[in-house]
Chain A
Amino acid sequence: MHELGLALEVCRMAEERLGSDALASVRAIGIEVGDDAGIEVGNFQFCLETLLDEPPFRGARPLILRRPGPVLRLAYLEVDDGRPDD
């Protein structure tokens, strides 16, 4: 349940950063999780996958990046900007 609360907060932060209309274009979310962050990584990943499969998201991938220490940080968002590749 703790992990679900954190996963919801990740979604809120993505919305704050991009706006709700752009969430469907998120392809991946990178999250740094420290070894001492008090997070059960498998459960956190599952919660994120569940939320990111549902609208307004469209199947963005959560990428957990393990780190030493207590860090717990939204590292980056990968967004499809809708334009053809250069």
Chain B
Amino acid sequence: MAVRTIDVRERIMARNDELAEQVRDRLNASHVPALNLVSSPGAGKTLLLERTLADLGHELVLSVITGDVQTQNDADRLARHTDRLVQAVITAGACHLDARQILTALDAIDLGATDLLFIENVGNLVCPASWDLGENAKVVLFSVTEGEDKPVKYPKMFQQARTVVLTKLDLLPHVPFRVERAVEYCRQVNPALEFLSTSALLPGGLEEWYAFLWAQVRSKQPPRTVR
């Protein structure tokens, strides 16, 4: 039988990237900044968002899409801190969110009444680095209970990110983590990274994070709500 070769030469991520552009267009049309929170499992994404919703929710209209392999536990935790619908995406085995899931989740979010959108990705420092969700920036949470060399072990994630949020700084006295060494590893893979130091448990431990969030909102539009 005759075998013919069909030249394709199409990027495998092309369809996802098309959908990510649709997400980006919808967010831009409503002047909503979107942050894609990524980290290894247990770095503190959900607790950071719980505190953020509780502390800023009366000043900013915050929407959240959470991604988990199974359960909507994170969405349930977050829903206790907001009147807004928290969109849970259960990936049913997939190790990352993709743009199609975000586009679908946006249908249930009133972007016209949203100041800032958080996407809490699946805890994983590998796969989410490859999937554009239409976000403005990837924000990596890096906890002091991890190895300082995470950035060089998972370089793509730190190359793709714009900001590193160091979390659980309240535990620093109890762990052998050296912040300056971790920052050095981060800069080895991405010299442009900015760093925020946080503790979700200490009073005032999220001030840098909140200042960063306000800057994201102000960069997109004058705040809608009374400040």
Contact = CB atoms under 8 A, between A and B. Distances in A.
B10 A86 contact: no
Interface of B is mostly: mixed
Tell me which of A18, A38, A77, A81 has the highest count of chain B C-beta atoms within 10 A of its own C-beta. Answer: A38
Contacts of B201: none
Bin chain B's interface residue count.
Answer: 20 to 34
A85 interface: yes
B98 interface: yes
Q: Interface residues of A: mostly helix, strand, loop or mixed?
A: mixed
Contact of A84 (B1, B11, B93): B1
Interface of A: 1-2, 4-6, 9-10, 12-13, 17-18, 27, 31, 36-38, 72-86
Contacts, number: 85
14 contacts: A1-B94, A2-B94, A5-B95, A6-B12, A13-B10, A17-B6, A18-B6, A37-B130, A73-B10, A79-B4, A79-B6, A80-B2, A81-B1, A81-B4
Contacts of B15: 9, 12-13
Interface of B: 1-13, 15-16, 93-96, 98, 126-127, 129-130, 156
